[in-house]
Chain A
Amino acid sequence: EIVMTQSPATLSVSPGERATLSCRASQSISSNLAWYQQKPGQAPRLLIYGASTRATGIPARFSGSGSGTEFTLTISSLQSEDFAVYYCQQCDNWPQTFGQGTKVEI
């Protein structure tokens, strides 16, 4: 099983600042990585797939990068609605696995 490790567990930032979230895979997953945003009481929402492609309707301030084992989600200028938990998911092999999440808070 591929283990996905996200860091940090919690990221404290201010509106307008840049946020950088990391995700590491225990073995190479090429670019088969997705990022999700989850707000309290809501289902997860796909932000990024293929490591760097924004999903439909996702603002340009969200960007993804990386390949192999190291991946990054960057939010260029945090808006109030971006405070949430973010998960990465490897989609390269069964079982598909998620990271434990990064909470972005004020």
Chain B
Amino acid sequence: EVQLLESGGGLVQPGGSLRLSCAASGFTFSDYVMNWVRQAPGKGLEWVSSISGSGGGIFYADSVRGRFTISRDNSKNTLYLQVNSLRADDAALYYCAKARSSTRLLGDGFDPWGQGTLVTVSS
């Protein structure tokens, strides 16, 4: 069974930093694009970032480029998101999600999703 378990969220002051992690199991981690998607309280879904299986392909939403860094450690089956210079509008539940298919960088959606880790930004 595929499992994704996020951690690392918490309360941080504006301008602060966090490192989010997503521990994966139940599949060959290095074969799949991995993704971060966030959801502000009571709002819709926003794609944040994606990384290819090898780590050589990295993509960011404009809203986070230059502040967030996605990475992965295939030896530890773990995905990361370093979030810096946090702003109030970064407050959200951050989901880790696996690409549905191993054969495409784009195109097949995300399946499954973890349960998320909550980032709260407040002074």
Contact = CB atoms under 8 A, between A and B. Distances in A.
Interface of A: 1, 32, 34, 36, 38, 43-46, 49-50, 55-56, 87, 89, 91-101
8 contacts: A44-B113, A46-B109, A49-B108, A50-B107, A94-B59, A95-B47, A96-B106, A99-B44
Contacts of B111: 45-46, 49, 55-56
B109 A92 contact: no
B11 interface: no
A87 B44 contact: yes
B100 A46 contact: yes
A1 B109 CA distance: 17
Nearest to B99: A91
User: Residue among B37, B95, B114 with the most chain A CB within 10 A?
Assistant: B37
B90 interface: no
B112 interface: yes
Which applies to chain A's interface (DSSP): helix, strand, loop or mixed? loop
B108 A34 contact: yes
A32 B47 CA distance: 16
A104 to B, nearest CB: 15
Given A43-B95, A43-B113, A44-B113, A50 B47 contact: no
Contact of A97 (B47, B106, B109, B116): B47
Given A45-B112, A55-B100, 13 more contacts: A1-B62, A34-B108, A36-B45, A43-B116, A44-B45, A44-B95, A46-B112, A55-B111, A87-B45, A91-B108, A91-B109, A98-B46, A99-B44
A95 B59 contact: yes
A38 to B, nearest CB: 8
B10 to A, nearest CB: 19
Interface string B30-44: 000000010000001
A32 B106 contact: yes
